[in-house]
Structure 1
Amino acid sequence: MKSGMIEKEGFAALVLRLRAQGVTDLDLLTAIEQTPRSQFVPPQFVTDAYSSRTIPIECGSFMEGADLAARLLAQLHVKPGHRVLDIGTGSGFTAAVMGRIAERVLSLERFRTLVKAAQGRLEALGMRNVIIRQADGSNGLQGEGTFDRILVTAAFDAIPRFYAEQLVHGGSMIAPLMTGEDRCMMIRLTKVGSRFEREDLFPAPYLPLVSHIAVHL
């Protein structure tokens, strides 16, 4: 099957599944359609680009299934004009989708190999408002001001309250939180004053965040 047909049919099937799950945000769906997912997956997984399966990528990392990626972005509610911090670039797909909507996206990734690969994909798409940096992300991103939204895709053992300083008032972040030895829950934290309001969303397959090793990878 030709790549164009894979994209068209894969996206159409994804939209049907997302609508069944209540994801109908037109701006988000348009951003996903404008970001060819097959360009972000390893060549041997092109036919699975729009499936719900987890796809392995380099450095022992993985790419969320298309359904989970879309659900996370739907819960994040990125809007035009927003500045977004993305912790865990991976393939670069979610950062690219957010870049279609937001004013600017800063994305951090600890693996140099993944950083270079994601940068190449974004350059190929002509996206200049998504900046990828190599960093562990365990303390967010200091010295870059505040953000309207933060997305984290590596799990914390406790609510990362230090992120409150990096969010605007009313801003929110979505992050995985370990709730047991092998259980992880996606949570939304909304900044109200100097505190967070927490909302549990759904279980997710993320791994604990490993700090302070980016310089070695």
Structure 2
Amino acid sequence: MTLDAERKMQFLFALRSKGVTDRHVLQAMEKIDRGAFVQGLFADRAYEDTPLPITCGQTISQPSVVGLMTQALQVTPRDKVLEVGTGSGYQATVLAHMARRVYTVDRFRRLTRAAEELFARLQLTNVITFTADGSHGLPDHAPFDRILVTAAAEDPPGPLLAQLRNGGIMVLPVGQSDTVQTLIRVTKTETGLDYDELRPVRFVPLLEGLGRE
């Protein structure tokens, strides 16, 4: 067995052992080389199940959390998905392998520019990248079937809930940014919102406005 094959096998085993069991999520994550999204000093740790720092003071989430969030989102091939917090572009790439179209937004132009270049190299034609205040969503492109937020808010942002289609699902971490947060799933129904608490997590805070970098 080659080193790459062994790494991939260990990577998938780590995902399954943390509760990522959805076949479609595992297939998407198996196809994607996380090493393409990790630069510099941390490149040799790309296959570890750990968050790693990227530019602009942000992080690339640990693979098991990416898998669990994607699994909770219950993405189908016909879904239009909004991701708030492009970061490295890794989560958007996983979503792009599963959804009809992915709209991803980040407040840092440096991150969205690098992600756009990476999406082009990976020949992902169903991802559209925006530099904007993600806490307001993308009202011009709403409604969305699924919304994934990769930064922690104290409560699910009202503008994002408003842009979720009836029957749609939003997954996000909620809680104070300096403590452990809770990953929740919000399902929008004809009569209101249903909330499911999934697991404790830790994410960077969801901030308003554009970043300086």
Per the TM superposition, whether the score is higher than 0.5 is: yes
What does residue range 4-153 of structure 1 map to in structure 2 within 5 Å?
A: 5-6=3-4, 8-153=5-150
Structure 2 counterpart of 1:38, one-letter code: G
State the distance in 2 between where 1:188 and 1:26 align. 20
Q: Which moved more, 1:80-89 or 1:22-31?
A: 22-31
1:178 equivalent among 170, 175, 178: 175
State the distance in 2 between where 1:22 and 1:66 align. 12
CA displacement, residues 114-137 of structure 1 (integer Å, 9 cap, x when unaligned):
111111111111001011110120
CA displacement, residues 52-75 of structure 1 (integer Å, 9 cap, x when unaligned):
221000011111111211111111
Q: Check if 1:198 corresponds to 2:171.
A: no
Contact preservation (8 Å) 1:164, 1:195: no
Contact preservation (8 Å) 1:189, 1:198: yes
Going from structure 1 to structure 2, the CA distance change for 1:202 and 1:5 (only over 3 Å counts) comes to same
Task: Figure out how many residues of one structure are paired with residues of the other and give that number.
Answer: 212
Going from structure 1 to structure 2, the CA distance change for 1:48 and 1:127 (only over 3 Å counts) comes to same
| Identical-pair percentage | 35
State the distance in 2 between where 1:136 and 1:162 align. 11
State the distance in 1 between where 2:186 and 2:160 align. 10
Q: CA deviation at 1:194?
A: 5.4
Q: CA deviation at 1:173?
A: 0.4
Q: Check if 1:213 corresponds to 2:205.
A: no
Q: What is the root-mean-square deviation in Å for CA atoms of aligned residues?
A: 1.7
Structure 2 counterpart of 1:10, one-letter code: R
Going from structure 1 to structure 2, the CA distance change for 1:115 and 1:29 (only over 3 Å counts) comes to same
TM-score by length of structure 1 reads 0.91
Q: CA deviation at 1:181?
A: 5.4
Which aligned segments of 4 or more residues in structure 1 are displaced greater than 4 angstroms? none
Contact preservation (8 Å) 1:137, 1:211: yes
State the distance in 2 between where 1:70 and 1:130 align. 19
